């Protein structure tokens, strides 16, 4: 723990961020006296509004003429234009639409116009972009969060640690580093020279609005601050929302909760970096959900109406954002008319209206929810709250009225002192997860076959482990079966998830489980064909990571099988391992009724079959079996992969499709490395797997199918998801992942918990 704290505190030079409200046309401006031709621009940013007509991060423009800009496009790609006679444009194929955490961008330009773009320490794009790389020079109008002298295209979100280095084309290592414990790219204080036009904006001086633009490089290149406020209340723009966690004398520094545009009903428009909301339609009802989920602890935030009607409260994990909030038992709130609402309204406290400040005090240790009006407690509104993950919620449960308001999770000063023991909702205040770096327990490793004996490492940023379950699949060029190996059955023995075949032994397949990966033989059928591309998903067996690989012999009668997880497994996958007769891969998932099962090797929907799991849910020590020969034929050997849900590392749940491109958002509490999805409410659909090794940046559109030997799925507009800092977002219309009103189950494993995660 001490090493973790020391690692994270290295970033405590990051003091504050500055919020740029596009609704206020907030921006910085400056005139320079010389023209740089080689330079580096580094910025940490957290997005607010997404899409729109595009948003400029910084820009320089000849009045009415050519411009140099770094911006987000309307489709949330990054666009770099280097102006002048030989102007060129670079637009990334990757998209940046994760509003719940921080990005680090570095743009490096040489004097001949070669540009390199990095995101979170990784190179994204490079190109020769012309001979006149104008940026922050004497002949142009220079701006941050706006495009020169043009109106519009203003950035909405938070910026901090803005460094401009004149005369040097640097890499991200000058501004960031991999934290050894978490494996996360984190801020590092720049220690070099700045050059003539160089500057460093840390936004730490709050003595006046003008002081916010102070240059801390020593060059005196201070910027003029436009349309930013330090007036207490909803327009206060100096925030303690920053990309590193540490304690201070106030609410703490870290990534703060905001309303989440990925989990907001279409009746709401979010603005002011996702702290303001307004209805777009008075005819419908719905909710906006906060970006941070919590399942323990005491939490406080404040809300204020800017209209005369509305409600504030909390929502549980699977609450719908599109239905009437009053019609569900998954949402608890305090309404403007003084009632409290949870699947029906009842009398509670005082009425409130425009300007009243409502405090929300959620005590998940005691299971209570209390509301405050202008600092005065209205008493406990709800008690005995069920164990679950909870989120801040704002809602509209009435038609024919507009609903507008502002929320504050502590990134700016609270108006009222929180109740004793209650904390602001930010990542610093979240509990430390048991697994702070998923690379210690789960890996997704790509490699190219060479038909020769070899060893492969699963190391990510120098972190590796000895796997106990290795799942290998060829990506291209031809159809090839999956191959699953585990240390319980031993090397060279594999099962194929896309077939009913029993265990096969091949001495030239996986030959060893190594301390940092695994070894392969010369097999050219499944795992090591020359020039074929492969992915190897790997898990480490341990109680900490929630995996137990269990072998057992069937009895032919109802029975239980012991496991060592200490909690009930959320998913159990069973396959006959003994040679001989075939069998289905039976899957027990926590989101499927206990009388039902679904097969990993087929496209069948989840169906009732009491002979598989004996209609009995697993416990902390055993899982139950019926008499099905798929799981319990007398004298036959089986293997069971038992997975428990581990907060911050693994999540097993379900969601309902909506059949539109703005698909459901699924909260995991971590940035996933691996996601598997399956439709359960109809037959004919495939299991699909995405991972962040094959799709390094969003969107995640490269699919493999556990029930098919087929090659990696070609990119499809309908079959895409975004993997983000706190879960994943469906971004297309597809029967396999997002049919309207269809039910899907998923399993996900983490790169890093949301407490430390960067945006993706």
Q: Report residue 509 CA to chain centroid gap.
A: 35
Q: Is the pLDDT of residue 121 over 50?
A: yes
Q: Name which of 424, 25, 418, 5 is nearest 239 in CA terms.
A: 424
pTM: 0.96
The span from the CA of 30 to the CA of 144, in Å, is: 9
Q: Which residues pair with 691 in a beta bridge?
A: 674
Virtual CA dihedral for 747, 748, 749, 752, nearest 10 degrees?
Answer: -160
> What is the rounded distance in angstroms from the CA atom of residue 405 to the CA atom of residue 304?
6
- CA-based end-to-end distance of the chain: 27
Contact 31, 129 (CB under 8 A): no
Per-residue pLDDT tens for 97-117? 999 999 999 999 887 768 899
Per-residue pLDDT, 66: 66
**Cβ-based neighbours of 565, under 8 Å, separated by 6 or more:** 543, 546, 548, 620, 642, 644
CA 456 to each of CA 467, 516, 659: distance values in angstroms, whole numbers, following the listed order: 12, 8, 41
The DSSP-derived string for 298-359 is EEEEEEEESSS--EEEEEETT--SSS-GGG-TTEEEEETTSEEESSSEEE-S----TT-EEE
For 584, phi then psi, to 5°, come to -75, 155
Round to whole Å and give the CA distance between 183 and 461: 6
Looking at residue 128, its pLDDT comes to 74
Distance of CA 412 to the CA centre of its chain: 24
pLDDT by residue (tens digit) across 708-728?
999 998 767 788 999 999 999
Decide if pLDDT at 477 tops 80: yes
Q: Of 177, 178, 182, which Cα lies nearest the Cα of 1?
A: 182
Residue 438 makes CB contacts below 8 A (sequence gap 6+) with 649, 670, 673, 749, 750, 751, 752, 753
Give the other-Cβ count within 10 Å of 3's Cβ.
9
Q: Look at 145-154, 237-246, 569-578 and tell me which has the smallest mean pLDDT.
A: 145-154
Q: pLDDT band for position 304 (50/70/90)?
A: very high
Lookup result for tokens 């909710």: 287
pLDDT at residue 7, as a whole number: 41
Please tell me the predicted confidence (pLDDT) of residue 283: 73
Sequence-separated (6 or more) residues with CB below 8 Å from residue 279: 267, 268, 269, 396, 402, 403, 404
Kind and range of the H or E element at 721?
A: strand 721-724
User: What's the whole-number mean pLDDT along residues 323-333?
Assistant: 93
Query: For residues 6 and 547, what is the distance between their CA atoms, to the nearest angstrom?
Result: 30
| Coil vs helix vs strand at 153 | coil
pLDDT in tens, 390-422: 999 999 887 767 789 999 999 999 999 999 999
> Per CATH, is 2-228 categorized as 2.60.120.200?
yes
Mean pLDDT of all residues in 735-742: 95
Beta pairing class for 442-448 and 533-539: antiparallel
Contact 656, 578 (CB under 8 A): no
Residue 118: other Cβ atoms inside 10 A: 24
Question: ω before 365 within 30° of 0 (cis)?
Answer: no
Q: CA 106 from chain center: how many Å?
A: 21
397 and 335 Cβ atoms separated by less than 8 Å: yes
Q: Is the pLDDT of residue 567 over 60?
A: yes
pLDDT at residue 151 is higher than 70 = yes
Using a pLDDT cut of 90, give the percent of the chain over it. 85
Count Cα neighbours of 208 within 13 Å in the Cβ-side half-sphere.
Answer: 5
Q: Which position has the token pair 């009053």?
A: 326
| pLDDT, tens digit (0-9, with 9 covering 90-100), for 517-533 | 999 999 999 999 999 99
Confidence of residue 478 (pLDDT cuts 50, 70, 90): confident
Task: Name the CATH superfamily housing domain 259-429.
Answer: SPRY domain (2.60.120.920)
CATH 2.60.120.920 maps onto the chain at 259-429
pLDDT at residue number 127: 81
Report pLDDT for 1.
Answer: 40
What whole-number distance in Å separates Cα of residue 573 and Cα of residue 755? 30
| Mean pLDDT value across residues 306-318 | 92
The model's pLDDT over 53-100, given as tens digits with 9 standing for 90+, comes to 889 999 887 666 667 889 999 999 999 887 654 456 788 999 999 999
Question: Which residues of the chain form CATH 2.60.120.200?
Answer: 2-228
- Residue linked to tokens 């100096």: 238
Phi first, then psi, for residue 325 (nearest 5°) are -60, -25
CA dist., res. 659 & res. 742, Å (int): 9
Order of strands across the sheet that contains 469-476 = 442-448, 533-539, 469-476, 483-486
Classified as helix, coil or strand, 582 is coil
Distances (CA, A) of 461 to 76, 181, 464: 28, 10, 8
Q: Which DSSP state fits 179?
A: -
* Arithmetic mean of pLDDT over the chain: 93
Query: How high is the pLDDT of residue 81?
Result: 83
Query: Over the stretch 745-757, which tens digit does the pLDDT of each residue have?
Result: 999 999 999 999 9
pLDDT at 131: 53
pLDDT exceeds 60 at position 386? yes
- Give the chain's largest Cα–Cα span: 86
Query: Residue 476, SS3?
Result: strand
In angstroms and rounded to an integer, the radius of gyration of the C-alpha atoms of the chain is 27
């Amino acid at each position: 723990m001490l090493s973790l704290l020391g690692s994270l505190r290295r970033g405590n030079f990051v003091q504050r961020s500055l919020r740029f409200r596009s609704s206020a046309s907030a921006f910085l401006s400056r005139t320079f006296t010389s023209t740089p031709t080689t330079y580096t621009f580094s910025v940490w940013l957290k997005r607010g509004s997404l899409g729109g007509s595009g948003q400029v991060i910084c820009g320089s423009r000849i009045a009415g003429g050519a411009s140099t800009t770094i911006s987000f496009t309307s489709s949330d790609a990054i666009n770099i234009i280097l102006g002048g006679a030989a102007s060129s444009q670079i637009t990334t194929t990757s998209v940046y639409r994760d509003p719940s955490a921080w990005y680090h961008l570095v743009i490096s330009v040489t004097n001949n116009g070669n540009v390199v773009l990095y995101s979170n320490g990784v190179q994204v794009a490079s190109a020769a972009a012309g001979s006149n790389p104008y940026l922050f020079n004497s002949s142009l109008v220079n701006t941050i969060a706006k495009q020169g002298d043009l109106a519009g295209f203003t950035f909405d979100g938070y910026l901090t640690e803005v460094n401009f280095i004149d005369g040097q084309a640097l890499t991200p290592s000058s501004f960031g580093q991999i934290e050894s414990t978490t494996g996360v790219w984190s801020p590092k204080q720049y220690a070099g020279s700045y050059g003539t036009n160089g500057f460093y904006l840390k936004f730490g001086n709050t003595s006046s609005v003008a002081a916010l633009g102070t240059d801390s490089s020593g060059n005196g290149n201070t910027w003029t601050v436009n349309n930013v406020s330090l007036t207490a209340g909803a327009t206060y723009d100096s925030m303690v929302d920053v990309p590193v966690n540490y304690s201070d004398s106030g609410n703490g520094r870290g990534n703060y909760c905001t309303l989440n545009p990925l989990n907001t009903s279409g009746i709401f428009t979010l603005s002011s970096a996702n702290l303001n909301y307004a209805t777009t339609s008075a005819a419908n009802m719905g909710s906006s959900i906060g970006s941070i989920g919590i399942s323990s602890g005491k939490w406080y935030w404040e809300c204020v109406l800017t209209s005369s009607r509305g409600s504030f409260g909390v929502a549980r994990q699977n609450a719908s954002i599109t239905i009437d909030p009053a019609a569900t038992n998954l949402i608890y709130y305090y309404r403007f008319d003084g009632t409290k609402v949870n699947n029906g309204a009842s009398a509670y406290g005082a009425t409130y209206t425009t300007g009243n400040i409502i405090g929300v005090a959620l005590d998940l240790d005691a299971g209570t929810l209390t509301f405050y009006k202008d600092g005065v407690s209205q008493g406990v509104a709800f008690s005995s709250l069920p164990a679950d993950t909870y989120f801040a919620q704002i809602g509209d449960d009435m038609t024919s009225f507009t609903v507008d308001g502002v929320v504050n999770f502590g990134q700016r000063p609270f108006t009222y002192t929180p109740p004793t023991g209650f904390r602001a909702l930010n990542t610093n205040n979240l509990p430390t997860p048991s697994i702070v770096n998923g690379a210690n327990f789960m890996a997704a490793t790509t490699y190219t076959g060479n038909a020769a004996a070899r060893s492969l490492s699963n190391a990510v940023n120098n972190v590796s482990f000895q796997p106990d379950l290795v799942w290998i699949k060829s990506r291209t060029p031809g159809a090839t079966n999956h191959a699953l190996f585990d240390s319980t059955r031993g090397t060279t023995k594999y099962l194929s998830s896309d077939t009913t075949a029993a265990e096969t032994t091949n001495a030239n397949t996986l030959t060893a489980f190594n301390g940092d990966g695994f070894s392969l033989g010369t097999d050219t059928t499944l795992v090591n064909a020359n020039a074929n591309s492969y992915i190897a998903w790997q898990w480490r067996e341990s109680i900490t990571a929630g995996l137990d690989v269990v072998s057992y012999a069937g009895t032919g009668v109802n029975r239980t099988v012991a496991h060592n997880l200490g909690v009930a497994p959320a998913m159990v996958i069973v396959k006959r391992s003994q040679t001989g007769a075939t069998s289905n891969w039976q899957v027990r998932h926590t989101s499927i009724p206990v009388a039902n099962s679904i097969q990993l090797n087929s496209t069948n929907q989840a169906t009732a079959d009491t002979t598989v799991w004996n209609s009995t849910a697993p416990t902390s020590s055993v899982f139950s079996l019926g008499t099905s020969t798929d799981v319990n034929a007398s004298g036959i050997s089986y293997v069971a992969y038992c997975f428990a849900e581990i907060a911050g590392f693994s999540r097993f749940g379900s969601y309902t499709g909506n059949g539109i491109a703005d698909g459901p958002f699924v909260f995991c509490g971590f940035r996933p490395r691996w996601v598997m999805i399956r439709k359960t409410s109809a037959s004919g659909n495939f299991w699909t797997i995405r991972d962040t090794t094959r799709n390094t940046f969003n969107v995640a559109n490269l699919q493999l199918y556990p029930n098919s030997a087929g090659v990696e799925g070609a990119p499809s507009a309908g079959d895409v998801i975004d993997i983000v800092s706190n879960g994943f977002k469906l971004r297309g219309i597809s029967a396999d992942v997002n049919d309207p009103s269809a039910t899907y189950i998923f399993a996900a494993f983490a790169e890093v918990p949301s407490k430390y995660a960067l945006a993706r």
